[in-house]
Chains A and B, each alone.
Chain A
Amino acid sequence: MNRNEPTALERFINGILPENPVYRQLLGMCPTLAVTNSMEPAMTMAVAVAFVLLSANIIVSLIRHLLKPHLRILVFTLTIATFVTIADRILQAYMWDMSKQLGPYVPLIIVNCIIICRCEVCASKQKLGPAIMDALGQSLGFALALASVATVREILGSGTWFGLPVMPAVWPDWVIMVLPPGAFLTLGVLIGLVNWLQNKKKQTA
């Protein structure tokens, strides 16, 4: 561990933009591409991931001194799988239609590498406070990333945002934006944009 270990607040802020899980770390690409054809499923996914990430970080941080190096990944996976199952059952009980729409992508949160990455990089080495802030920051960063992709895709693809019409009635819906190619196009353009802005900022600084 280096001496310049970020503080809890820095960890929170880092997760939002400087170390955004999607735009800077390129993690969690599967949900970013798969559930962002409109805002509603994207935000449900973001909340589910936030719940799992926060819970897993808390548990892992609490038991960090008991972890054996060669068994730690097993503990992470076990913890994550438990909370994903809980999230899945809650969705099925209270948001049945959304649960059906998200389908297998909810159980697939188990293999979302953002979560196992944060357990490994942060929670297994940090006190509870920084681990919680880290989880919140990363979850917020992930939610913003999903929202950005979903906003572009829903507005261009369906002319709506959160189901509300925002484009003029003459808008010809770009069906490709709702389909998988639209996800790749949007994400590619947005990542390019973020990198371009970052480079510009560096040059002026």
Chain B
Amino acid sequence: MAEEEKTEQVDETPEKGGNYIAQAWLILLLAVCFGASLTGVQISLGEKIQQNKLNETFSQIPNLVPGSDTGKGFEIDGKIIYRAMSGDAQVGWVVPATGQGFADKVEILIGLDTKADKLTGLYVLDQKETPGLGNKIVEEDWQMQYVDKPTASQIEVIKAGSPTVNQIMAVTGATISSVAVTDLVNKTVAEIKDKLASNAK
């Protein structure tokens, strides 16, 4: 913030080049006050927002793993993942993941079968991609492409043609968002696949 003021100020009043702080004190002060108030807001609301996300995660588990009705939290390497349960029997996994999209962070949930051999679903929990283009990653039709993809090899994004068993079509005009989600899936699954398979009940 201070950098911008300096350049602007030098352009307009070169003879007073020395007193940047005198010119910018109000902005610096406001920045500190606003920053403090945002911290306050985050501290008081952060927990509630997390809880909302968690509630949505649980409500999505039956859609992500067919046949499941509830989820049970489970920790691997400090990361919380969910067992998708049908009664007492485990029928799959739901793994949350966060990565950089085109505009901001993208948070997704990945559904996997019990042995983590194939994907059973994908859901975008939070995103701020470009309206009308990148935000089409929230549409069910697009997310359904990930269903039944084997995890043995990486998923590729294609822009034209008909996708083969390990390919998905990019959202038209939003290749970066599509690749971001796909890379996130590939990376997360590759990291956690073996641990999931060995922990399955």
B140 CB–A CB distance under 8 Å: no
A34 CB–B CB distance under 8 Å: yes
A38 to B30, CA, bound (A): 37
A107 to B103, CA, bound (A): 12
Q: Which residues of B contact A90 (CB under 8 A)?
A: 41, 45
A79 to B30, CA, bound (A): 8
Q: Contact check, B26 vs A75: say whether CB atoms are below 8 A apart.
A: yes
Nearest residue (CB) in B for A107 is: B128
Q: How far is the CB of A136 from chain B (nearest CB, A)?
A: 22
Nearest 6 CB-CB pairings of A with B = A96-B52, A82-B34, A93-B45, A93-B48, A92-B49, A104-B128
Interface extent on A, as a size class? 20 to 34
B23 CB–A CB distance under 8 Å: yes
Q: Contact check, B23 vs A104: say whether CB atoms are below 8 A apart.
A: no
Nearest residue (CB) in B for A59 is: B30
Are A96 and B4 also in contact (CB < 8 A) when A67-B26, A71-B24, A79-B30 are? no
A-B contact count (CB 8 A): 71
A180 to B52, CA, bound (A): 29
A100 to B126, CA, bound (A): 8
A103 CB–B CB distance under 8 Å: yes
A169 CB–B CB distance under 8 Å: no
Nearest residue (CB) in B for A68 is: B23
Q: Contact check, B41 vs A71: say whether CB atoms are below 8 A apart.
A: no
Q: How far is the CB of B2 from chain A (nearest CB, A)?
A: 11
Q: How far is the CB of A91 from chain B (nearest CB, A)?
A: 10
A20 to B48, CA, bound (A): 37
Q: How far is the CB of A92 from chain B (nearest CB, A)?
A: 5
Q: How far is the CB of B17 from chain A (nearest CB, A)?
A: 14
Q: Contact check, B34 vs A78: say whether CB atoms are below 8 A apart.
A: yes
B131 CB–A CB distance under 8 Å: yes
Nearest residue (CB) in B for A104 is: B128
B29-59 Cβ-contact flags toward A at 8 Å (1 or 0): 0110010011001100100110010011000
Give 25 A-B contacts (CB < 8 Å), ordered by A residue.
Answer: A63-B30, A68-B26, A71-B8, A71-B23, A71-B26, A74-B27, A78-B30, A79-B34, A82-B37, A82-B38, A85-B38, A85-B41, A86-B38, A86-B41, A89-B45, A89-B49, A90-B41, A93-B49, A96-B52, A96-B55, A103-B127, A103-B135, A104-B103, A104-B129, A104-B135
